């Protein structure tokens, strides 16, 4: 992978620490067009389920974000879930999504 922008590295660190803090399946973080960041983990309740990226996008939108610059998800999975990609692209179709493994190494950048 190419060298990452320091701001992209920051959202990977946020996603990774959020995942680790609660031992979630995934951790995610997004950066809005004002440079603010939002982090979240997988929500898996009997009546309510969200991917980590859906939860991070929801946090951004509920805080007034009108667009995203980038998103990151830390997961053991080899693909980002379709619902996660759609949540990001619903807000900003061109926002890149960085998929990193639990060590924080970027495995893929979805555009």
Q: Give the model's pLDDT for residue 51.
A: 97
Q: What tens digit of pLDDT does each residue of 8-67 get?
A: 999 999 999 999 999 999 999 999 999 999 999 999 999 999 999 999 999 999 999 999
Q: Give the model's pLDDT for residue 3.
A: 79
Q: What tens digit of pLDDT does each residue of 71-109 get?
A: 999 999 999 999 999 999 999 999 999 999 999 999 999
Confidence of residue 2 (pLDDT cuts 50, 70, 90): low
Separation between Cα atoms, residue 103 and residue 75, nearest integer Å: 9
Regarding pTM above 0.85, the answer is yes
Report the b/e string of 15-27 with b at 16+ CB within 10 A.
bbebbeeeebebb
SS3 per residue for 83-106 = HHHHHHHHHCCCCCEEEECCCCCE
Q: Give the model's pLDDT for residue 75.
A: 96
């Amino acid at each position: 992978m190419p060298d990452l922008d320091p701001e992209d590295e920051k959202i990977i660190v946020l996603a990774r620490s959020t995942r680790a803090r609660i031992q979630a399946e995934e951790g995610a973080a997004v950066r809005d067009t004002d440079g603010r960041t939002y982090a979240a983990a997988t929500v898996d309740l009997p009546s309510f389920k969200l991917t980590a990226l859906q939860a991070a996008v929801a946090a951004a939108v509920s805080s007034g974000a009108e667009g995203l610059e980038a998103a990151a998800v830390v997961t053991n999975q080899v693909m980002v879930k379709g619902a996660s990609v759609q949540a990001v692209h619903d807000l900003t179709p061109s926002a890149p999504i960085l998929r990193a493994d639990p060590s924080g190494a970027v495995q893929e950048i979805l555009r």
